[in-house]
Amino acid sequence: SEPTKRYSNELAAYTLRQFSAANSRLDDKKKSKLSKLPGSYSRILHAERLASMLG
């Protein structure tokens, strides 16, 4: 239904904003450690791009 779809989209956007905000607070040392985890760094970059597109 439309309200469920809208809620899901809003929740996804909110989660993405929270993730991006938390990631931006990481210092470079922690980001470099995180980037060594398989696939995590690409997911972070993808999430940051989506967050910037969604505002």
Contact predicate 45/37, CB 8 Å: no
Question: What type of residue is 39?
Answer: G
> What pLDDT does 45 receive?
74
The Cα–Cα gap between 30 and 18 comes to 18
39 by DSSP, 3-state: which? Answer: coil
> What pLDDT does 37 receive?
67
Tokens representing 20 are 């991006």
Question: What is the residue extent of each domain of the chain?
Answer: 2-54
The Cα–Cα gap between 17 and 12 comes to 9
Write out pLDDT tens, residues 6-51.
898 888 888 888 887 887 787 777 767 766 766 766 777 777 777 7
**pLDDT surpassing 70 at residue 5:** yes
